[in-house]
Amino acid sequence: MVEFMEKVSAAVESEELTVEERNLLSVAYKNKIDARRASWRIISSIEQKEGSRGNEDHTSKIWDYRSKIESELSNICDRILKLLDTRLLRRHRRLQGLLPQDEGRVSSGH
């Protein structure tokens, strides 16, 4: 859903997103983040229990997995922040007359 909403926001080059589109974008990212946050909480709890038991082998593997979850969370957050900065906020500023028309354009060749 996130990928689809990113395409929608890119396709709506000349106007702002509708309320429904903004809500869908928000829900898409919220769902993606919430799943990883729940995983992070569970794995952190398991890591603490294993650490208190002195099971270093399990703790090391759990730490690796927790790091992977944190990396995924960071990547998701970076994507939405980049989308907000390069597309949505810039487009909004341009429509409000705060940016010249050519400065609001984002090249499609990343």
Q: What is the pLDDT of residues 81-92, one digit of tens each?
A: 888 877 777 666
Residue 78: inside a domain: yes
CATH of the domain at 55: 1.20.190.20
Task: State which residues form the domain around 23.
Answer: 2-103
Structural domain total, the chain = 1
Looking at per-residue pLDDT, the higher value among 105 and 17 belongs to: 17
Q: What is the pLDDT of residues 42-65, one digit of tens each?
A: 999 999 999 999 988 889 999 999
Q: Is the pLDDT of residue 11 over 80?
A: no
| pLDDT attached to residue 61 | 93
Alpha helices in the chain (DSSP H): 2-11, 19-53, 56-83, 89-95
Residue 110: inside a domain: no
| pLDDT attached to residue 21 | 81
Residue 58: inside a domain: yes
Give residues with Cβ within 8 angstroms of 105, minimum separation 6: 13
